[in-house]
Amino acid sequence: MRFFGFANGILIAALAVASAQAQAAGPDDQTERGRYLTEMMGCNDCHTPGYFLGKPDMAHRLSGSEVAFEIPGMGAFAGPNLTPDKATGLGAWSDAEIDTVMRTGVRPDGRTLAPSMPWRSFASMSEEDMAAIIAYLRSLPATERKVPGPFGPGETSNTFVMRLVPPGAVVAGAP
């Protein structure tokens, strides 16, 4: 009996070491956690091409959506390219700038993002999770892709727009 208790103790100690190793954040583990978080937090819905059309282009994941959200009185806004492309993605943004826009909605140029980007939900994210998401975004292949818009109120859009329509409206048919 005593022997088994001792053996169990060793087993538990060994498992504890193994689980501590699994949690140790090497660079790859941090990036992997970032991937997991972006999937669970829905970033692909609004930032991956094809997602809202039922055909997500995961080879170009997070490179920007062709579907803009219309906010009455504000305009229509598509989820931008989050890959490290310098001209059309986040390549020229610092980690602090990404952190700020994710928590406060304020872009480096001072514009506050439309409420379709759920930054209020992300404001209290832990430093570790934010760092993991940023590391993951930095690890994506840089894709050159400028999303359409943003479109101001009354402007004609050249892309898909998600709009709330009242009951009784005719639902659009197949293209």
**How far is residue 80's CA from residue 114's CA, in Å, rounded to a whole number?**
12
User: Does 56 interact with ligand HEC (rule: CB under 6 A)?
Assistant: no
- In the bound complex, what is the minimum distance in angstroms from residue 49's beta carbon to ligand HEC? 13
* Helix or strand holding residue 76 (H, E): strand 75-78
Phi and psi, residue 160, nearest 5°: -70, 145
Is 7 or 122 the residue whose CB approaches ligand HEC more closely?
122
Is 19 or 158 the residue whose CB approaches ligand HEC more closely?
158
- In the bound complex, what is the minimum distance in angstroms from residue 69's beta carbon to ligand HEC? 5
Pairing of strands 160-162, 75-78: unpaired
Residues 62 and 141 sit within 8 Å (Cβ to Cβ): no
Q: Which stretch binds ligand HEC (CB under 6 A): 13-21, 23-31, 42-50, 51-59?
A: 42-50
Choice from 51, 61, 69, 99 touching ligand HEC (CB under 6 A)? 69
Pairing of strands 67-71, 75-78: antiparallel
Alpha helices in 24-147 (DSSP H): 27-40, 43-47, 95-104, 119-122, 127-139
Over the window 78 to 117, marking each residue x when it contacts ligand HEC by CB under 6 A and - when it does not, the resulting string is -xx-x---------------x--xx----x-----xx-xx
- In the bound complex, what is the minimum distance in angstroms from residue 60's beta carbon to ligand HEC? 16
* Residue 175 Cα distances to 14, 140, 166, 172, angstroms: 59, 32, 22, 8
Can you give the binding site for ligand HEC, defined by CB under 6 A? 38, 41-43, 45-47, 69, 77, 79-80, 82, 98, 101-102, 107, 113-114, 116-118, 133, 150
